[in-house]
Structure 1
Amino acid sequence: MNRTMEQVLVHPDGTTITLLDQGTDEQGEYLIVEHLVMKRGAMNGPHWHPVLTESFTVKEGMMRFIVDGTEQVLGPGQHIKVLPEQVHQFWNESGDQLIAIHEIRPPGNHWNMFKLMHKLTKQNRLNSKGVPRNPLWLGMAWECIDGYIAGPPIIFQRALFGGLARLARSVGYRI
């Protein structure tokens, strides 16, 4: 493992994302973060990644996953791996807080996504579902997921959201 300096993103509601480690090992590049989630409910919408593999291990609380239509609820010590091209979504099902370790291989832009969503949350620029209100920020966020939203055709997402991201960068938007 290549140890990195710990970085912590604390959201106004107490939700915290801590960068635990990133680097390269015999399996390739990786990013490991810890999620401390204070709010019950969906943590994202259904999406998929062409290249990324994500692994989750629940440390505290309950976490629900739907992966390619199969639902699974995990408790402390349980683990799930989401492979490339699998449509997935997950929720905090805990009465209180959820703590989960999240490993991303290769990491792609995921840390930038966490930083961007932290920034937008602190600036109150997200709607009640956690989606950026401003279309240019939406394009920037979409670009960071290293994947696609389940449903809309890929060509549509690349044209619309990719175009919004290019426009946002051209007028000075930065993560």
Structure 2
Amino acid sequence: MATAGDVFHNPTTGERVTVLLGADDTDGRYLAASMAVPPGDCRLGEHLHPGLVEAFEVRRGRLTFSLDGEERIARPGERIVVPRGARHDYWNDGPQDAEILLEVWPAKRFEQLVGTLMGLAREGLVDEHGSPDPLQAAVTAREFRRELVLCSPPRWLQRVVNPVLAAIGRLCGMKGSYARHAVPVDRVTVEHWDERPEPAAGEQAVAAVLGPVPVVSAGGGPAVV
């Protein structure tokens, strides 16, 4: 599990995640991370999280969200809460990197999933959108089906095809996750961050009134924006 100061990077999508408070710091309950999302249309595709809640707060730049079929642009100071089971996606169609505060409840399995996808990307085992090949994708999808469900292809088709592909993938030696991907690419200093409670049920896009997000410093000196 991740801890404050761990850095993870996806070279395919360009996303860089710096953990402010991780699952290892909170017994798996909570993740807070500063995430840099570069401009471009490299998106995962519409998906949902059956077993977790996400919150995105834009601190710099802008991020376009699709939430249950409705698109909106989130700008600095705005927060998007994604409830369990809500269809969503996000991408940066602005001219500069978007700096995002990402929060997740609970966090342990989510961290394992994201670490796996980023690790496969660093090893060159994903396509230009960051997706693994169909066999690896099916094995990972089966292991993390409470954490991530893609909305395409249709879920009925996934229920039929994924178990077959996953069985073939496991016969080929593939796993749903790999311990080596849990190792961060870097460690930096971050300011203290307090665990926050899960948003109330039904809370969605609202203006957030929060303090500044810590900016990490490889030299050991934290700053804020």
Smaller-chain TM-score range? 0.7 to 0.9
2:138 is aligned to: 139
- AA aligned opposite 1:148: V
Partner SS, residue 109 of structure 1: helix
Q: Deviations over 1:103-138 (max 9, x none)?
A: 111225221222122222222222222221x32221
In the superposition, the TM-score normalised over structure 1's length comes to: 0.80
Q: Do the aligned partners of 1:87 and 1:150 also contact (CA within 8 Å) in 2? A: yes
Aligned to 1:156: 157
Distance 1:106 1:73, change over 3 A: same
Alignment: residue pair count: 170
CA contact (8 A) 1:117 1:141 kept: no
Structure 2 CA distance for partners of 1:102 and 1:48, relative to 1, 3 Å:
same
More strand, by proportion: 1
Provide, for residues 50-85 of structure 1, a one-character-per-residue CA deviation record: whole Å limited to 9, x for no partner: 221110001111101011111110111210101112
Letter in 1 for 2:54: E
Matches within 5 A, 1:77-96: 77-96=77-96
SS of the residue 1:114 aligns to: helix
With CA pairs under 8 Å and 6+ residues apart, which has the higher RCO, 1 or 2?
2
Give the residue type in structure 1 aligned to 2:118. H
2:115 equivalent in structure 1:
115
What is the root-mean-square deviation in Å for CA atoms of aligned residues?
A: 2.6
Q: Cα distance, 1:172 vs. partner?
A: 3.6
Structure 2 residues without counterparts, runs of 5 or longer:
179-225
In the alignment, what sits opposite 1:49?
49
The alpha carbon displacement at 1:153 in A equals 4.4
Taking the aligned partners of 2:108 and 2:159, their CA distance within structure 1 comes to 17
Partner SS state of residue 95, structure 1: coil
- Which residue matches 1:35? 35
Matches within 5 A, 1:99-110: 99-107=99-107, 109-110=109-110
Cα distance in 1, alignment partners of residues 174 and 33 from structure 2: 25
Instruction: State, as a whole percentage, how many aligned pairs show the same letter.
Output: 28
Paired with 1:88 and 1:34, the residues of 2 have a C-alpha distance of 20
Q: Provide the C-alpha distance between the structure 2 equivalents of 1:86 and 1:73, rounded to a whole number of angstroms.
A: 17
1:64-75 alignment, distance < 5 Å: 64-75=64-75
**1:41 alignment partner, SS class:** coil
